[in-house]
């Protein structure tokens, strides 16, 4: 016989301890709002999962305002631009000049997640890893329920004022919305990224986005000692086809420009990521609010996914504070519209960067010439370069609400 679930109460039940769920829990705590975070994976897994690396200036300000930027300010690498490479030439796009002094910062998502988990743990916040059977119910009532079984096998039922679905693209919250409520728009791209981490100092001071006839390549970094590099590969590619020496040889070929050298080192991690654009709307059903990858996905070429996820929870914090503390629905009712404005801008920018820089399997000579013409225009025209720069550093610039 199964024993009855342990019943507790919280103001906000949060599904998922990725960057969105963890930051939401912290921002709510700063407003005096209680939350419970449940996470399917282990703490070690969440802290090791390799993903994003680039933060918009608004994201950095948000983390600072939340008191979470101690290590970010010490270890993050501020970048004032990127290089665009095509036709064997490299061109600099200067964000400081083009985007009113705004910059971006290289600081790995894994480090943000570690910082957030350390803070939440030190504060004694309810953060449960390795839960199973997460369910959300009664979403169209004022007392939605969050159910899960903890790592010790004990079943829990948490009565909430609101539930935040921060459980990523493959989570359970979006599918819990009844059929017919959400409309989804999706595009799968016919290529993927093979990403590596390598113990070698970056060969560049700023990121290189490179269009090559054989496919896109991106030189990024994690620290002054660690490089992060991506290669476009076919959508269904098997990582077993890419021994380390093939990866380096392909990178050498795609990044080659006269007088510049790509330094090689030992590869410590490699994986392949599919690319898709996806938006579900509205980002709310009753007392369930979706945030981050649970509601939308962009291809990584624009470096927007993590930044969008954190922007969502900044907007959601204001909305939930008004709802839970003052019973004022206005911001909650506007949550989806407010987020989707930024989401669609980032979706367009990420699609544009992806289309301009990747080689589609069916691309013809017309496609190639159109890409090259667009790249030459961005490199030569201040107006076109400004469009890239202001989107890359984050548009519209993030307001940090009452956090300042």
Return the active site residues.
79, 209, 300, 304, 392
Q: How far apart are CA 318 and CA 324, in angstroms?
A: 10
Name which of ligand RFL, ligand PHB, none residue 301 binds, using a CB cut-off of 5 to 8 Å depending on partner kind. ligand PHB
Dist. CA 160–CA 368, nearest whole Å: 53
Residue 364 Cβ vs ligand RFL, minimum distance, rounded to whole Å: 29
Between 29 and 256, CB nearer to ligand RFL: 29
273 binds ligand RFL (CB under 6 A): yes
Stretch that binds ligand RFL, among 3-11, 175-183, 246-254, 302-310 (CB under 6 A): 302-310
Which member of 305, 394, 395, 398 binds ligand RFL (CB under 6 A)? 305
**For ligand RFL, the closer CB: 170 or 329:** 170
- Of 51 and 96, CB closest to ligand PHB: 51
Name the β-bridge partners of 270. Answer: 196
Q: Which is nearer to ligand RFL, 274 or 376 (CB)?
A: 274
If the CB atoms of residues 69 and 207 are measured against ligand PHB, the closer one turns out to be: 207
Per the listing, tokens 């001071």 go with: 205
* 307 scored as a contact of ligand RFL (CB under 6 A): yes
Nearer to ligand RFL, 19 or 202 (CB): 19
Q: Which of 198, 303, 359, 388 touches ligand RFL (CB under 6 A)?
A: 303
| Separation in Å, CA 367 to CA 190, 356, 373 | 15, 9, 10
Distance from C-alpha of 318 to C-alpha of 331, rounded to nearest angstrom: 7
How are beta strands 288-290 and 162-165 bridged, if at all? parallel
In which region does residue 16 sit, left (phi positive, over 0), alpha (psi from -120 to 50) or beta (all else)? Answer: left
Render 23-41 in DSSP notation, one character per residue. HHHHHHHHTT--EEEE-SS
Q: 3-class DSSP state for residue 223?
A: strand
Residues 189-228 as x/- pattern, contact with ligand RFL by CB under 6 A: ----x-x---------------------------------
Q: How many residues does the structure list for the chain? A: 404
Of the pair 257, 338, the CB lying nearest ligand RFL is at: 338
- 168 makes contact, choosing from ligand PHB, ligand RFL, none, with CB < 5 to 8 Å by partner type, with ligand RFL
The SS3 assignment for 147 reads strand
Q: Could you tell me if 162 and 13 are in contact, meaning their C-beta atoms sit under 8 angstroms apart?
A: yes
Taking CB under 6 A as the criterion, the residue among 309, 314, 385, 398 binding ligand RFL is 309
When asked if residue 85 is in the footprint of ligand RFL (CB under 6 A), the reply is no
The encoded tokens of residue 283 equal 């980002």
Q: Does 340 bind ligand RFL (CB under 6 A)?
A: no
**Selected range binding ligand RFL among 37-45, 197-205, 208-216, 251-259, rule: CB under 6 A:** 37-45
Choices 46-54, 150-158, 261-269, 354-362; region in contact with ligand RFL by CB under 6 A: 46-54
228 binds, among ligand RFL, ligand PHB, none (CB under 5 to 8 A by kind): ligand PHB
Residues that bind ligand PHB (CB under 6 A): 52-54, 207, 218, 220, 228, 300-301, 303
364 token code pair:
């013809």
Measured distance CA(158)–CA(122) in Å, rounded: 22
**3-class state of residue 159 by DSSP:** strand
DSSP H helical ranges for 271-381: 305-326, 330-357, 365-380
Establish how many alpha carbons lie within 13 A of residue 177's alpha carbon, considering only the half-sphere containing its beta carbon.
Answer: 24
Q: What order of strands is seen across the sheet that includes strand 35-38?
A: 126-128, 35-38, 12-15, 162-165, 288-290, 284-285
Residues that bind ligand RFL (CB under 6 A): 15-21, 38-41, 46, 51-54, 109, 131, 134, 166-168, 171-172, 193, 195, 273, 292-293, 300, 303-307, 309
């Amino acid at each position: 016989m199964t024993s009855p679930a342990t019943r507790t109460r919280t103001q906000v039940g949060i599904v998922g301890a990725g960057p969105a769920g963890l930051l939401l829990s912290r921002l709510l705590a700063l407003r005096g709002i209680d939350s419970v975070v449940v996470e399917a994976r282990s703490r070690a897994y969440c802290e090791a999962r390799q993903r994003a690396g680039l933060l918009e200036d608004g994201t950095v300000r948000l983390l600072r305002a939340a008191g979470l930027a101690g290590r970010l300010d010490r270890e993050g690498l501020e970048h004032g631009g990127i290089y665009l490479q095509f036709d064997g030439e490299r061109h600099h796009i200067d964000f400081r000049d083009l985007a009113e002094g705004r910059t971006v910062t290289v600081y790995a998502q894994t480090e943000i997640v570690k910082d957030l988990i350390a803070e939440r743990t030190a504060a004694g916040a309810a953060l449960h890893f390795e839960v199973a059977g997460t369910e959300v119910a009664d979403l169209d009532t004022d007392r939605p329920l969050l159910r899960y079984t903890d790592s010790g096998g004990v079943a829990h039922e948490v009565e909430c004022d609101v539930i935040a679905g921060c459980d990523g693209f493959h989570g359970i919250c979006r599918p819990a919305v009844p059929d017919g409520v959400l409309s989804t728009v999706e595009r799968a791209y016919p290529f993927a990224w093979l990403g590596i981490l390598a113990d070698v100092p970056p060969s560049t001071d700023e990121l290189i986005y490179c269009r090559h006839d054989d496919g896109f390549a991106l030189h990024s970094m994690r620290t002054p000692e660690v490089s992060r590099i991506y290669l476009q590969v076919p959508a269904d590619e098997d990582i077993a086809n890419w021994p380390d020496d093939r990866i380096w040889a392909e990178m050498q070929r795609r990044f080659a420009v006269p007088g510049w050298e790509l330094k090689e080192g030992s590869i410590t991690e490699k994986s392949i990521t599919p690319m898709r654009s996806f938006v579900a709307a509205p980002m709310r059903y009753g007392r369930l609010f979706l945030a981050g990858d649970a509601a939308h996905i962009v291809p990584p070429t624009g470096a927007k996914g993590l930044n969008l996820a954190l922007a969502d929870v900044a907007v959601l914090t204001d909305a939930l504070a008004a709802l839970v503390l003052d019973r004022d629905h206005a911001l909650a009712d506007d949550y989806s519209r407010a987020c989707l404005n930024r989401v669609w801008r980032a979706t367009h920018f990420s699609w544009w960067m992806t289309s301009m820089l990747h080689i589609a399997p069916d691309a013809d000579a017309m496609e190639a010439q159109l890409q090259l013409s667009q790249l030459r225009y961005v490199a030569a025209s201040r107006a076109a370069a400004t469009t890239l720069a202001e989107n890359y550093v984050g548009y519209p610039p993030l307001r940090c609400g009452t956090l300042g």
